[in-house]
Amino acid sequence: MALCLVMIAIVRLMQPHVNLSKADVNVASLVLGLIASITLLVWFLRRSGYSTALRRSVGWSLLAILLVLIAMLRIDHVSGDLIPRFAWRWQTRADRTIAPATATGGLVDLATTSEDDFPQFLGPQRDAVLPDIHLQTDWERYPPGLLWRIDVGAAWSAFAAVNGFAVTMEQRGDQELVTCYEIATGRLLWFHAETTRHQTVLGGVGPRSTPTIHEGRVYTLGATGILLCLDGATGQVLWRDDILARQGLTPQQDLQGIAWGRSASPLIVDDLVVVPWGGPAAGDKVSLAAYDHQTGQVVWTAGEYQAAYASPTLATLDGVRQILSVNQDVVTSHDPATGSVLWQAPWPGNSTSNASVSQPVALPGDRVLLSKGYGIRAKMLQVRHAGRDQWSVDELWNASRVLQTKFTNVVVLDQYAYALHDGILQCVRLSDGQQQWRGGRYGQGQVLGVGRTLLVQAESGDIVLVAARPDQHEELASFPALEGMTWNNPCLYGRYLLVRNAEQAACFELELASP
C-alpha cells in the first residue's frame, strides 16, 4: 500500500496543473523514491518469507555498496533543475587544474567606444535587448565561424566588451581573477588576481557578476564582496573596497545570509558606482551603496534589506529617474543623487532558499515587470508619482504560470515578454500576463533579444536562434557552442558572439543582415 501511495504521489507531481518548478518536482520525486526504496528494503528484511541467510546477505551487500559509493563519489555540481552530477573524489576540479593565468601584454584601449560595445551586464541598456543588430537566420548558408576557443577559470560571469576587448571574471584555484582578452584572437592581455575563493555545492565555484566598463575603467564585484576599480589599459588597481570587511564578516559568515555569493554587477549612474551591500544574516543591512567612481569614496548608503542576486538598474518611471533594486524580499526604488527610498513593494524571496535573481523590467511610462522562479507569481506593477515624496504602487496583474525565470531575465519586445519559463521559452502579453505560447526546452539558460530574434544560450551550451513573434514558437537555427553546463549570459559585440561557462570560452563570428 505504501509503495502504491508513493507512486501515485510521483504521478501527481508530474501533472501540468501542479504549480511546482522542475527542481521542486525533482527533489520531491527523489524524497518519495527514497521512501519507496526504504519501504521495500524494510519489507524484504523484516516481512518477506525469504530465508534469514539471504536477507542478511542482501542487507549487508547493499550497505557495503552504499559505503563504497559514498567513499568514492562526490557531488561535482548540480544542474539548474537540481539534478546532481557526480565525480570521483580523487578527481581535481577543473578550476584547480587549469594553467595559471599568463598575460601576453599589449595595447588595451577601453576608453575608446563604438556603437558595437556591450559594456556591462545584459548590454548597453542593461535590458538584454540589442534592437539595432540584425542577424542572418539561415545558419546553414551562413554558418557561425569559430574564431577561438580557450579554457577559462570557473565563474558564472559573462563578458563585457568595448573597442575590440572583452573582460570577464574567473576562479583559478584560490585566486579570483579579472581577465581581459582580445576579441579577435582570444589572447589574454592582462589580469588582476585577488586571493579569495567562493564555492558551494548548489551554486558552484567562482565569481557570479559581470564587469562594467566605463570611461576606460573596469568595475567588478567578486563573490566574496571585493569591489574593484581597475585601469582598463593595464588591469592595475585604482581603488578597492572589501564590503565584507566593512561589515565585520568572513566569507563563511556571509554565506549564512547570501548563500550563493555576491552576484550583482556594478551600475554606473552619473559619477557613482552603485552595488548592493546587504549584511549579516542576523544584523543590520544596507540595500545599496554608492561610491564616487573616481576615488572609491562612499557617497551614500540607503535601504535596510538583505541583498539578493539581481543587479541594480537605472529606470525612469512616471517621468522620474530612479535606481531599482531587487532585494531579498522587497523591491526598492532610490533617488540616484541621495539614495533615499522613493517607493518599495514586497517581492517574496530569501537569499538562502527561493532566491531572487531576475532583473526588474521598467516599461515605458509607469510600469515595472517582476519575475522569478521557485513557483512565485510574476506580476506587473504600476508606479505613479503624486508629487514631492508621494508615490503609489498598484498591482495590475499577477500570474503563477508565466515567467518563472529562475536564473534568467525577461526580454521585452513591443508589447510582449519573452523568457525561459522554468527552462521552456515562453511568450507573454504584457497588458494582462496571458501566455501566448511555450516551446523549446533550453534548460536554465539565458536569452538575448537581437533585432527581431531571440538568441538563446541553452543550459546545455547550445546557441539557438528563435523568431521573436507572439503568434508561435519558431526555432530558426542552432549550433553547439560550448560543452557542459552553461548558466552564463552571452555577449554580442557587433557580429562577434562571446560565450562562456565554468570551463571554456569561445568567440563566434555571425553573419549580419540588413534591417
Q: Residue 5: pLDDT band by 50, 70, 90 thresholds?
A: low
Count Cβ atoms within 10 A of the Cβ of residue 64 and give its class: 0-12 exposed, 13-18 middle, 19 or more buried: exposed
- pLDDT tens for residues 486-496? 999 999 999 99
CA angle (114, 118, 124) in 5-degree steps: 95
Instruction: Give the span between the Cα atoms of 75 and 129, in whole angstroms.
Output: 36
Burial class from Cβ neighbours inside 10 Å (0-12, 13-18, 19+) for residue 10 reads middle
Residue 91 has pLDDT above 80, yes or no: yes
For the chain, percent of residues with pLDDT exceeding 70 = 96
Q: What is the pLDDT, as a whole number, of residue 38?
A: 86
Angle at 253 between CA 197 and CA 157, to 5 degrees: 35
| 507's grid cell | 568567440
Q: Which residues, at least 6 apart from 451, have a Cβ–Cβ distance to it below 8 Å?
A: 130, 131, 132, 133, 134, 135, 515
Q: Read off the DSSP letter of residue 461.
A: S
The whole-number pLDDT of residue 515 equals 78
Average pLDDT over all residues of the chain: 94
Mean pLDDT (whole number) for 415-419 = 98
Facing residues of 391 across strands?
385
Contacts of 8 by beta carbon, 8 Å cutoff, 6+ apart:
none
For residue 242, give the DSSP letter: E
Over residues 118-147, the mean pLDDT reads: 97
- Position 29 confidence tier, pLDDT thresholds 50, 70, 90: confident
pLDDT at 11: 54
Q: State the Cα–Cα distance between residues 130 and 51, nearest whole angstrom.
A: 71
Q: Tens digits of per-residue pLDDT, 234-274?
A: 999 999 999 999 999 999 999 999 999 999 999 999 999 99
Residue 215 burial by Cβ neighbours in a 10 Å radius (0-12, 13-18, 19+): exposed
pTM for the full predicted model = 0.94
Distance between CA atoms of residues 297 and 272, nearest Å: 10
Query: Span 428-449, mean pLDDT?
Result: 97
What nine digits make up the cell of 228?
574593484
Q: Is the pLDDT of residue 15 over 60?
A: no
pLDDT of residue 422: 95
Per-residue pLDDT at 2: 53
Band of residue 9 on the pLDDT scale cut at 50, 70, 90: low
Residue pLDDT, tens place only, 203-215: 999 999 999 999 9
pLDDT digits (tens, 9 = 90+) for 276-327: 999 999 999 999 999 999 999 999 999 999 999 999 999 999 999 999 999 9
Q: Please report the DSSP string for 152-182 in residue order.
A: --B-----EEETTEEEEEEEETTEEEEEEEE
User: Nearest CA to 446 among 477, 425, 471?
Assistant: 425
Domains, the chain, ranges and CATH?
2-88 (no CATH), 94-509 (2.140.10.10)
- Alpha-carbon distance of 208 to 25, in angstroms, equals 26
Local structure of residue 490 (DSSP, 8 states): P
| Spatial contact of 125 and 484, defined as CB atoms under 8 Å apart | no
